[in-house]
Amino acid sequence: MYGLGDDCERGAHAHRESEQVFIAVSGSFTLSVTDGHQTKTFAMKEPNRAVYVPPMIWARVYDFSDDAVCLVLTDSPYEPADYIRDWDAFLLTVGGGHNENTFS
């Protein structure tokens, strides 16, 4: 992702099975992740730092600098059925049982 501006937000979804890694190749942005119970926020501004996001973690990317380039690596090709794009549906999914991906 690039050329988004500081008022843009991307993500705001979770993946059922896909794993992702976020890297700030250039510039900076903010990555916020939650398991539905706890939230962690990362100031992404160094290309030698990556954040791994496992399945069933809601991720939002925002506050892009003008020169931001956000690289997202994933372990699977695009599959629409893998996405949970509705926040309430996500909360129902993760709240209904044990989530092995919760933060420690």
Assign residue 60 the CATH number of its domain.
2.60.120.10
- Residue at 104 is within a domain: no
Domain span at 48: 9-95
pLDDT for 3 equals: 81
1 located within any domain? no
Does a structural domain hold residue 102? no
Q: Looking at the domain assignment, is residue 103 inside a domain?
A: no
CB of 25 within 8 A of CB of 71? yes
Structural domain tally of the chain? 1
Q: Report residue 68 as tokens.
A: 């931001």
Write down the pTM of the prediction.
0.86
What is the distance between the alpha carbons of residues 68 and 30, in angstroms, rounded to a whole number?
Answer: 10
pLDDT tier, 9 (very low <50, low <70, confident <90, very high otherwise): confident
